[in-house]
Amino acid sequence: MISRYERLYTAEGAKQGLRADGRNCDTFRPVSCSTGVFEQCSGSARLRIGGTHVVATVKVELGAPTPATPQYGRLSFAVDYSPCSAATAQGRRGEDQSSELARALEQSIRPSQSGKGGALDLQSLCVLPGKTCWVLHVDGLILNADGSVLDALSLAIKAALGDTSIPLASVVAAEDPADQPEIDIDPDPSKYTRLDIQRIPVTLSIGLIGGLPVVDLTEHEELCADSMLHVSVNERGRICGITQRATSGINPATLQEMLAMAQRAAPKLLQSVQRASSQMETA
């Protein structure tokens, strides 16, 4: 809940290019990211954007592919609000919010039904077509929500997927040809493959406050926004998915402006993740 006058104050500020924390409409809060934070996971990352604090983990296991896509590996996404993160995220409403976030993240990465498009090469996760594949369980946990949660999660998930090590698996034919072939996993933990995360996009939330597009909204600003656009942009500046959350419509010209803003801002954000992962490699 927010009062009309607070809304007006924030909107008038945005019109003059001023925000409560002194930023411009197109500046982000400082981003810090570290990878490999959980030993038990195949890959993990922790990320902060201002007051928003999220953790993303990837667990890898062998499973069966879906009947519709026997040649592909599987992805599963889940997002959860930590019980102590925000009062609004409790109960059924919190569940709805987190499943909405998981859906939006999944949509930016998963290929279409027939396997075309998509930001992750799921075909490389296939071990034995139709029988066995790698399953990536991607979990996002929101420790503190202060706006732009989706942005933080998408960056953290990209970093966690980049940190993920997949054990080497080889298919060994059984002695009796009638038997199922066996799958042999290399026990040496230093031998693994990495995922290609080059094409995984970052999702930016762009809000419309007082008719002006604003990036990286705080929780307060999100309450003042008339509409929000979640735009996924990859490293080449291509748009990989959009969802709109609005209480009022957006003029097509403004929409173009918001998309252009997202395309401009994405490379800077992606660099911050790359820096974190390259630091881990050298360390």
Partner 1 sequence: MPKDVVSVPLPRKPRPTNVIVNGTRLDGRGPEEFRPIFLSTGVIPQASGSVYAELDKTKLMVGIYGPRPSDRWHGFSEEGHLDCDVKMAPFSGGQRTKWGQSPEEREMAGLLGVAVEAGVQRSAFPKATVDVQCLVLEAGGGELAVAVAAASLALADAAIPMRDLITSCTVSRVDNQLLLDATSDEAFQEDGSVLLAMMPSLNQVTQLLVKGAWSGGELDEAIQLGMTGCAEMDGICRQVLQEAIAPP
Residues that bind partner 1 (CB under 8 A): 96, 99-100, 103, 107, 112-114, 116-117, 119, 199, 227, 229, 234, 237-252, 255-256, 259-260, 263
Pairing of strands 74-81, 52-63: unpaired
Residue number with CB closer to partner 1 (247 or 282): 247
What is the nearest approach in angstroms of partner 1 to the Cβ of residue 155?
Answer: 18
The angle at the Cα of 196, spanning 28 to 103, to the nearest 5 degrees, equals: 60
| DSSP annotation string for 197-212 | -TT--EEEEEEEETTE
Task: Give the CA diameter of the chain.
Answer: 77
What is the nearest approach in angstroms of partner 1 to the Cβ of residue 123?
Answer: 15
- Residues 94, 201 contacting (CB under 8 angstroms): no
Measured between alpha carbons, how far is 238 from 160 in angstroms, rounded to an integer?
A: 22
The helix-helix angle for 91-109 and 149-163 (nearest 10°) equals 50
Measured between alpha carbons, how far is 37 from 23 in angstroms, rounded to an integer?
A: 30
Residue number with CB closer to partner 1 (77 or 134): 77
- Residues 102, 75 contacting (CB under 8 angstroms): no
Q: Which amino acid is at 145?
A: A
Tokens 């924030």 belong to which residue? 10
